[in-house]
Amino acid sequence: MGDQPMRSCVSCGIKRPKAELSRFVWYNDELTSDPGQKASGRGAYSCNNDECSKVFYSDRKRWKRAFRLS
Domains identified in the chain and CATH numbers: 6-67 (3.30.1230.10)
pLDDT of residue 8: 96
List % helix, strand, coil for the chain (3-state, nearest 5). 30, 30, 40
Tell me the one-letter amino acid at 1: M
Residues ≥6 apart with Cβ < 8 Å to 65: 10
Full-model pTM: 0.84
| CB atoms near residue 24 (< 10 Å) | 23
The 10s digit of each residue's pLDDT in 8-28 is 999 999 999 999 999 999 988
Instruction: Please tell me whether residue 49 adopts helix, strand or coil conformation.
Output: coil
The 10s digit of each residue's pLDDT in 28-50 is 888 899 999 999 988 999 999 99
